[in-house]
Structure formats: C-alpha cells, structure tokens
C-alpha cells in the first residue's frame, strides 16, 4: 500500500492518471472521495454555553461564527496596517511632510487601543488561565502593546521617550 502511495507522490516511479484513480479507489473504497462531503468533519467537541465561553469562542476561534470571522479579519487587517505604519513612519521622505508624524501617532494609538481591548477580552474570557499565560503567542501579544504604554508612562510634558527600538 505505501509503495503505491509513495509512487503517487513522486517518491518512486511516475504514476499515470489511471494508477492514481486505482489507488484512490483502493484507499477510499469503491466510491471516489468527494471533497465536498461534509460527513468527514466531526461535530465540535466544545460547544460554548455561557456568555464567557461564547466571548472566548468569538475572540479565539475564527471558525466559530461570522462575528468571530469578522473579529479575526479586523485584527489581522489592523496588524498589517500597524506594521505598514511603523515601516512608513521611519521613511525619511515622509518625515518631512507636515503633520505626517501625527497621522502615524493616531494610527498607532487606534491600533494599540483595539489590540488592548481584544487582549483584555481574551484574558477575561479564557477558560484556562494557566494555559493562556503559558502560551507564547499571548506573551507576544502583550509585549506588542507594552511599548505604547511604557512610552505614555515615561513621557514628561508631552515629549515621549522613543520606544521604537522596543516595538521592533
């Protein structure tokens, strides 16, 4: 059996289309595998019932609902906007434009506020705090917003400390 499969994937001799169909029939039964057949998907193991569980599913699982897909898409879009803003903010030609710095500060502020709210919602709705805080990606999310708040705390008289090196 594995020899036939290895041959199909180019690990052995080249297979003809007829051999591919023959092996597919042998591995999936007499019926060809239907890629649109939903019966191969299991029911979800976890079905949220409380408001907290529903909130966790919305902010953590983009496949849970249309709202969760929208939240995930908005967060991913904001990540791209934030990265592009950070790159363009350091362009010497754009630094010369009057008011350019303020535009980038507004973009950064809006993005950090939304990221902070999303992170706070995930922290407050997590079903397992121990698993949440041992996950490296959650620490990366926290470290991504900390320079903004560090700059706010360390600023004096409106002049902030440049934390751009920390944001990288």
Give the up-direction half-sphere exposure of residue 127: CA atoms within 13 A in the CB hemisphere.
13
- Of 71-85, 93-107, 127-141, 152-166, the range with the lowest mean pLDDT is 152-166
Mean pLDDT (the chain) is: 76
- Of 49-53, 110-114, 157-161, the range with the lowest mean pLDDT is 157-161
Cα dist. 29→1, 8, 9, 70 in Å?
14, 17, 20, 39
What is the per-residue pLDDT for 43? 52
Residue 17, φ and ψ in degrees, nearest 5: -60, -35
pLDDT at 133 over 50: yes
Concatenated DSSP letters of 61-82:
-TTS-HHHHHHHHHHHHHHHHH
156 strand-pairing partners: 159
- Of 85-89, 93-97, 115-119, the range with the lowest mean pLDDT is 93-97
pLDDT at 121 over 60: yes
Q: And the tokens for 86?
A: 């950070």
- Of 6-20, 107-121, 141-155, the range with the lowest mean pLDDT is 6-20
**Percentage above 70 pLDDT, the chain:** 65
Please identify which residue in the block is written with the tokens 């289309």: 17
Range 127-144 average pLDDT: 93
What is the per-residue pLDDT for 90? 84
What domains does the chain contain, in order, with CATH numbers? 2-40 (no CATH), 51-167 (1.20.120)
d(CA 101, CA 57): 37
Give tens-digit pLDDT for 22-42. 545 555 555 555 555 555 444
Contact 75, 38 (CB under 8 A): no
d(CA 163, CA 154): 10
């Amino acid at each position: 059996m594995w020899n036939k499969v290895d041959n199909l994937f180019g690990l052995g001799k080249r297979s003809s289309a007829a051999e591919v169909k023959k092996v597919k029939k042998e591995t999936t039964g007499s019926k060809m595998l239907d890629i649109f057949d939903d019966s191969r998907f299991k029911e979800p193991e976890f079905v949220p019932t409380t408001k907290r569980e529903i909130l966790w599913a919305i902010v953590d699982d983009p496949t849970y609902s249309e709202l969760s897909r929208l939240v995930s898409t908005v967060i991913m879009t904001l990540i791209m906007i934030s990265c592009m803003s950070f790159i363009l903010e350091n362009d010497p030609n754009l630094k010369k434009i009057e008011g350019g710095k303020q535009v980038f500060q507004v973009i950064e502020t809006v993005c950090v506020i939304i990221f902070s709210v999303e992170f706070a919602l995930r922290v407050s709705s997590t079903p397992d705090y121990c698993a949440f805080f041992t996950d490296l990606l959650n620490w990366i999310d926290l470290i991504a917003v900390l320079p903004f708040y560090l700059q706010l705390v360390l600023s004096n008289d409106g002049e902030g400390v440049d934390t751009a090196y920390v944001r990288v």
